[in-house]
Amino acid sequence: MLGPKVWSSVRRGLSRALSRTMGSWASGEGRKMDISGIYPPVTTPFTATAEVDYGKLEENLHKLGTFPFRGFVVQGSNGEFPFLTSSERLEVVSRVRQAMPKDKLLLAGSGCESTQATVEMTVSMAQVGADAVMVVTPCYYRGRMSSAALIHHYTKVADLSPIPVVLYSVPANTGLDLPVDAVVTLSQHPNIVGIKDSGGDVTRIGLIVHKTRRQDFQVLAGSAGFLLASYAVGAVGGVCALANVLGAQVCQLERLCLTGQWEDAQKLQHRLIEPNTAKVLFENTPVWDCFVPPQQILTSKRSPIGSQT
Amino acid sequence: MLGPKVWSSVRRGLSRALSRTMGSWASGEGRKMDISGIYPPVTTPFTATAEVDYGKLEENLHKLGTFPFRGFVVQGSNGEFPFLTSSERLEVVSRVRQAMPKDKLLLAGSGCESTQATVEMTVSMAQVGADAVMVVTPCYYRGRMSSAALIHHYTKVADLSPIPVVLYSVPANTGLDLPVDAVVTLSQHPNIVGIKDSGGDVTRIGLIVHKTRRQDFQVLAGSAGFLLASYAVGAVGGVCALANVLGAQVCQLERLCLTGQWEDAQKLQHRLIEPNTAKVLFENTPVWDCFVPPQQILTSKRSPIGSQT
Amino acid sequence: MLGPKVWSSVRRGLSRALSRTMGSWASGEGRKMDISGIYPPVTTPFTATAEVDYGKLEENLHKLGTFPFRGFVVQGSNGEFPFLTSSERLEVVSRVRQAMPKDKLLLAGSGCESTQATVEMTVSMAQVGADAVMVVTPCYYRGRMSSAALIHHYTKVADLSPIPVVLYSVPANTGLDLPVDAVVTLSQHPNIVGIKDSGGDVTRIGLIVHKTRRQDFQVLAGSAGFLLASYAVGAVGGVCALANVLGAQVCQLERLCLTGQWEDAQKLQHRLIEPNTAKVLFENTPVWDCFVPPQQILTSKRSPIGSQT
Amino acid sequence: MLGPKVWSSVRRGLSRALSRTMGSWASGEGRKMDISGIYPPVTTPFTATAEVDYGKLEENLHKLGTFPFRGFVVQGSNGEFPFLTSSERLEVVSRVRQAMPKDKLLLAGSGCESTQATVEMTVSMAQVGADAVMVVTPCYYRGRMSSAALIHHYTKVADLSPIPVVLYSVPANTGLDLPVDAVVTLSQHPNIVGIKDSGGDVTRIGLIVHKTRRQDFQVLAGSAGFLLASYAVGAVGGVCALANVLGAQVCQLERLCLTGQWEDAQKLQHRLIEPNTAKVLFENTPVWDCFVPPQQILTSKRSPIGSQT
């Protein structure tokens, strides 16, 4: 069996190095940025007075830096991005960039309701050091978010983004699933490199992998709960809240999947899927996972439920 | 039959004058602000370059000012608030305050995802001239928005708001209905004066009216589509997108309901509910209504579908 | 104010008499059967050994016969029709026909999943004495129940039914709302006289009334919870579980609506909508209402929850 | 690589033989019936006059008999059981029993809305030759189908069934998912041997496998669309409509999973998940699959859409 360092380096190889030096997708040559691997969605700690606790954030990053993650997702749903101002969102990403190991990827959530704001946030995220942006579907006017509207939105963002774009579909929060036909169309954009799919519908994930097989398009599972199954149908990684507290185990699950040790993978997946185990483990930690959407962390003092938990 | 001016003045009477001079709910005496009547949800016009078109906004206000509305809702769903920056939201309200007749009410949408941001926006809305705020339910983490969380959120906002608060439940956009038990609890807060209910469930509206009957709590229907029915079960007005283009007719429907002319009211309601009629009327207008949620206006160049309509 | 008997007789008038003697819609002349008024959905009592308790059924009918109902709905959702065999469904209707007053209407539920079975049950219901059938939407294959499929189904049933057909849309149980366009198309069929709409969406009810106004098509509200509102937008009656225990009050609400006493109607509607009141009243009765779908009675020993209540 | 016959025999082994001779679960010794493997859900052919076409049924069975299926599911959703009378349901099962190879399992759908009818149908299914029954959740009163109600229902059925019971959860049709806690409780019943889960939520499937790991409880995937993923998390087979037309391929996918050839399995899964491929293949066949619920076959002349397809 390969050790964690070995399989990790094998996995990324040359393509990663290339993509980092490429500077921009505009060059158009070669492959899309390789985003395969496991990412914890970094949470945003708050002080007692509801300010962002940057000291605690850096402390968390140092702990997370000890695991063989591919990188970090910052300002995703678990980062409670809807509770931060635009400048706080950027500041958090900037701090993470400084605190995290140089060889990891930083995927920053830059989705807003309007196309214009999303473009602006995307450009700013690149400026503060994000390697790629993860763009959640706009959702307040979900009744109007047809495939055509969503394709229009993401195409505009990807056209103007200096860094690669990862689509982000999280129906438990947004009430809409980015339609498969829209994903397939968008996968042809040279600056759209993949999707984080948090819906948990593995038939859909398999179909996306299959229908985008000629586009160098990568699927990340949005939860540890269906990580093994996603690997089985062709996903290349996962953004798993559970990785915030069980980083070693989630990375081990990745390794078992990548090296074809499916029997052991199944056993580990079962242990990770068990809410009680997680509950015990999480009790004395500042973060916790929720395997079944739409539970998120919401430790923030700014949350409507902040003072109750 | 009473003319529009007469019934309008009868309806409001002294209580309105009192509430305006009261300054703040903190005085605690007397009744809650009377918000009964019809309100168009003012749309936000944009220029070709996707800037807010303040000239056009004032022009629209002058047109709308000719109808016997009780006031205006600004920065509601039809105002496309999710597409504006915080300062634009405030600037729009400020401009409407200046352009609108002095004797009308200005209800400003101040809802944000976090409690803290909502409080800040609420205070700012009061500073730029809003008479009351209309606060939409936070929704991104809808799976966590229990009755307790929502009661906590609205109580905090109402505690700190210098002007009255109107709850705003619009499940077509938010994916959650502010639960009846939460509404009943919140109706007891001296600074929470009513709810705009856009869900269209008239059993629920009747139940809310009944269960809050001792709280001087007022229900506004969220669409012209169920305005008559809402009056029939005790609502006192409506925020109707249709009033942007058929202002006279929606106000006439209000008058027919208030004066007990239910047969004529039914005929008018039927005409207003007919999508084809509305379509014809709306074709050459800059705005249109959608009777069945979750359709909103979205004329904005900033909208994901902006350039397609 | 008119007494109950007077308004009742005025309401029905000659058309009713005509429709009863007409024998069949096939004659094609004149108006559709008048089905306006209040109906309790008769429940099916069971013995301790889970047999249909016909003695108890007749007893209930005699009690219900003392109220000024327009008639009775038998084998609707509250009649627990899914728990009976075909022959029991017919036997229950036959017994009700014999036990009920001659001048009341008997609407019998005859819906089955297949078109063929529905036609057979419809013909049999006519043979055992039903005045009209109420046909619930097939629902097991709801994903395939397009407007076209439902129009096809109901047209076939109405073509072959010797008695008038009432459409029945109850989304809380079936998971589908008979689409408005399908209702409008079906309203043109000479043997389809109306719809029982239990969804509670009063905008939809108003739209159906408006769009079928030239078809002599009648809408019955499916619950006492939105009875007043339904009358306000043009419904002509209701099938109300609450009428099983508060028959006098529900009929009084009808009368207040029909005679334009909307203020008193609102007060009464509020009292009838209050779950606690109903709970107290229902506690010592064999039946109860549920204002909010999808609660049904399910007293049956055959129900999956039979022994637990 | 093991050939189809070899792995098939290895898989079943002695336990199968034992379970068949055991006669009844009442003996209580030993393991539950082994139901692992692939099953096509047999469709019900109809004549032009909407009668069950038993000749065609036998013909289909002979074709299906050539594939290495574990057995056949009869009177499931694809068998259009809601369109048949009770006696037809039994006659179909009886005919399949006679026409099918002796060494295959016959799982017969016996679910009805009432507990009583389900018990009767279950006993009858055993009498006409079913090896086990597959019992769909009652669903018309889904608002009342709590975990407690469903546990009560299935326990009663399993107590009285002379043959093993397989739970059947198909939310696309029934609007309810048999809750995991109910499944776990029911897995402890000696006569409940497994579940056919058609919801496609692989996190849930993994959790069920994990939480029932001490109960000898078996999970069958309800569609070919998530067959590979289900095997990956511990399912032991599938009931796949696609197996009606691509029997060899679905069985090959099973084999690849069982022998750990996950890379080839993924490729085959992708091909089977592709609707276009399937469409072409299905065009000239009497049956077709639907990968995404809630599409079913509905070729029946009795279906509301029968004459339209």
Identify whether A104 is a catalytic site residue.
Answer: no
CB contact, 8 Å: D83 with chain C? yes
- Touching chains, C (3+ CB pairs < 8 A): B, D
Residue in chain C nearest B292 by alpha carbon: C203
Token match 């099918």: residue?
A: D100
Of C82, C115, C300, the CB nearest to D302: C115
On chain B, the residues whose CB falls within 8 A of the CB of C260 are 260, 262-263
A206, D234: Cβ pair inside 8 Å?
Answer: no
Closest-CA residue of B relative to A148 is: B305
d(CA A232, CA D262): 7
Angle formed by the axes of helices C247-258 and C4-22, to 10°?
90
> What's chain A's Rg over C-alpha atoms?
18
Is the pLDDT at A164 greater than 60? The verdict is yes
Instruction: Give residue A302's pLDDT.
Output: 74
C and A make contact (3+ CB pairs below 8 Å): no
C149-166 b/e with 16+ CB inside 10 Å = b?
A: bbbbbbbbbbeebbbbbb
Domain A33-277 has CATH 3.20.20.70: yes
Output the pLDDT for position B21.
38
Mean pLDDT of B241-256: 94
C-alpha distance from B19 to closest chain A C-alpha (Å) = 29
Q: Do B82 and A140 touch (CB under 8 A)?
A: yes
Q: Is D216 left (phi over 0), alpha (psi -120 to 50) or beta?
A: left
pLDDT computed for residue D306 by the predictor? 55
What is the band of B150 on the pLDDT scale with cuts at 50, 70, 90? very high
Q: Which amino acid makes up residue B26?
A: A
| Residues 215-244 (C) with a CB less than 8 A from some CB of B | 223, 225-226, 228-230, 232-234
Instruction: Determine the pLDDT at residue D278.
Output: 54
| C-alpha to C-alpha distances, C99 to C54, C80, C88, C133, nearest whole angstrom | 10, 20, 16, 18
Residues written for chain C: 309
C79: nearest CA in chain D? D141
Please report the sign of the dihedral spanned by the C-alpha atoms of residue D297, residue D303, residue D304, residue D305.
positive
Q: Who wins on pLDDT, C235 or B290?
A: C235
- What is the spatial distance between Cα D301 and Cα C114, in angstroms, rounded to a whole number? 9
What average pLDDT does range D274-299 have in this prediction? 43
Identity of residue C278 = A
Determine, for residues D82 and C172 on separate chains, whether the beta-carbon distance falls below 8 Å: no
Average pLDDT of the residues in D248-253: 96
How far from B87 is each of B46, B81, B84, B94, B96, CA to CA, in Å?
16, 11, 8, 10, 14
- Asked whether B47 and B294 are in contact (CB, 8 A), the reply is no
Is the Cβ pair A274, D211 closer than 8 Å? yes
Is B138 close to A304, i.e. CB distance below 8 A?
yes
Q: Which two tokens stand for residue C181?
A: 């366009």
Of C82, C145, C148, the CB nearest to D140: C82
What is the least distance, in Å, from the CA of C258 to any CA of chain B? 11
Rounded to whole angstroms, how far apart are CA atoms D16 and D77? 26
pLDDT(B28) > 90? no
Query: Best mutation site among B140, B157, B178, B307 for testing chain A: the one with the most A CBs within 10 Å?
Result: B140
Q: What are the pLDDT digits (tens) for B71-127?
A: 999 999 999 999 999 999 999 999 999 999 999 999 999 999 999 999 999 999 999
Tell me which of A8 and D195 has the higher pLDDT: D195
pLDDT at D11: 40
Separation between Cα atoms, residue B72 and residue D14, nearest integer Å:
78
B270–C226 CB contact, under 8 Å: no
Chain D residue with minimum CA distance to A226: D203
Instruction: Lowest mean pLDDT of A13-17, A67-71, D83-87, D229-233, name the range.
Output: A13-17
- Check CB contact of A114 with chain B, cutoff 8 Å: yes
Residue B34's Cα: distance from chain center in Å?
Answer: 13
Average pLDDT over residues D52-58: 93
List, in order, residues 6 or more apart from B3 with CB less than 8 Å away.
none
Please, which residues have CB within 8 angstroms of residue C224's CB and are 6 or more apart in sequence? C238, C240, C241, C242, C243, C246, C250, C253, C272, C273, C289, C291
D113 vs C50, C83, C293: nearest CB: C83
pLDDT of residue C49: 87
- C105: part of which helix (H) or strand (E)? strand C105-109
Residues of chain C with pLDDT under 70: 1-30, 275-301, 306-309
pLDDT at C288 (0 to 100) = 32
Of B82, B152, B295, which has the smallest distance from its Cβ to A304's Cβ? B152
Helix (H, G, I), strand (E, B) or coil at D58: helix
What is the spatial distance between Cα C250 and Cα C69, in angstroms, rounded to a whole number? 9
Rounded to a whole number of angstroms, the distance from the CA of C152 to the nearest CA of chain D is 6
What band does A285 get if pLDDT is binned at 50, 70 and 90?
Answer: very low
Amino acid making up residue A138:
P
pLDDT for the residue numbered A116:
93
- Report strand pairing: C165-169 vs C132-136: parallel
Give the mean pLDDT of A178-198.
98
| Sign for the pseudo-dihedral over CA of C268, C270, C275, C277 | negative
Among D267, D273, D274, the strongest candidate for a mutation testing the A interface, having the largest count of A CBs within 10 A, is D273
Shortest Cα distance, chain A CAs vs residue D257, angstroms = 10
| Residue C42, both tokens | 């008769």
The pLDDT score that the predictor gives to residue D29 is 54
In angstroms, the separation between the Cα of residue C50 and the nearest Cα of chain D is 9
At B111 the three-state DSSP class reads: coil
Chains C and D touch (3+ CB pairs under 8 A): yes
Q: How far is CA A172 from CA A37, A38, A216, C280, in A?
A: 23, 21, 27, 39
**Chain A contact probe: residue of B118, B303, B307 with most A CBs at under 10 A:** B303
Amino acid in position A300: S
Query: Is the distance from CB of A79 to CB of A41 less than 8 angstroms?
Result: yes
- Identified catalytic residue from B196, B267, B279, B301: B196
* Active-site amino acid positions of C: 196
- State how far residue D224 is from chain A, nearest Cα, in angstroms: 9
B273: closest chain C residue by CA: C207
For residue D306, which residues of chain C lie inside 8 Å, CB to CB?
115
pLDDT digits (tens, 9 = 90+) for A226-251: 999 999 999 999 999 999 889 999 99
| Least confident piece of the model among C258-272, D2-16, D173-187 | D2-16
Partner D contacted by C309 (CB < 8 A) = no
Q: Chain C: residue nearest B230 by CA?
A: C229
Q: Which of D258, D217, D213, D216 is nearest to A271 (CA)?
A: D213
Q: Does B295 touch chain A (CB under 8 A)?
A: yes
pTM over 0.95? The answer is no
| Partner B contacted by C293 (CB < 8 A) | no
Residue of chain B with shortest Cα separation from C206: B270
C50 touches chain D (CB under 8 A): yes
**Burial class of D88 by CB neighbour count within 10 A (0 to 12, 13 to 18, 19+):** middle
Residues of A in contact with D293 (CB under 8 A): none
Least confident of A71-80, A162-171, B25-34, B193-202: B25-34
Q: Is B213 on the interface with C (CB under 8 A)?
A: yes
Q: Which two tokens stand for residue D178?
A: 């048999």
Q: How do residues D119-134 score in pLDDT, each as one tens digit?
A: 999 999 999 999 999 9
In chain B, beta strands by DSSP E? 37-39, 41-42, 71-74, 105-109, 132-136, 165-169, 192-197, 218-221, 237-239
pLDDT of residue A284: 38
Other C-beta atoms closer than 10 Å to the C-beta of D202 total 31
Give the residue extent of every domain in chain B.
33-277
pLDDT in tens, D34-48: 999 999 999 998 888
Q: Looking at residue D284, what is its pLDDT? A: 38
Q: Which residues of D touch A223 (CB under 8 A)?
A: 203
Exposure on the CB side of residue C278, measured as CA atoms within 13 A: 25
> Mutate which of D198, D289, D303, D309 to test chain C, going by most C C-beta atoms within 10 A?
D303
- Residues of chain A with pLDDT > 70: what percent? 80
Q: Are A131 and A33 in contact (CB under 8 A)?
A: yes
Tell me the shortest Cα–Cα distance from C3 to chain D, in angstroms.
39
Measured in angstroms, the CA of B200 and the nearest CA of chain A are apart by 16
Highest mean pLDDT pick, B166-180, C36-50, D280-294: B166-180
Mean pLDDT of chain A: 85
The stretch B244-265 carries a mean pLDDT of 95
In D, which residues are within 8 Å of A206 by CB distance?
225-226, 228-229, 269-270, 273
> Pick the residue with more confidence: D12 or C260?
C260
Residue to test with chain D: of A210, A227, A240, A271, most D Cβ within 10 A: A210
What is d(CA C133, CA C192) in angstroms, rounded to the nearest whole number?
10
Q: Among D151, D169, D85, which Cα is nearest to D121's?
A: D85
Q: Say if residue A36's pLDDT is above 60.
A: yes
Q: Could you give phi then psi for residue D244, rounded to 5 degrees?
A: -65, -30
- Predicted pLDDT at C304: 79
Residue with tokens 């692939």: D38
Q: Measure in Å the smallest separation between the Cα of B301 and chain A Cα atoms.
A: 9
- Under the banding of pLDDT at 50, 70 and 90, the label for residue A299 is low
Q: HSE (CB half, 13 Å, CA atoms) of D188?
A: 6
B77–A contact, CB cutoff 8 A: yes
User: ipTM score here?
Assistant: 0.86
CA D158 vs CA A114, D29, D166, D188, D197: distances in Å = 55, 16, 9, 11, 18
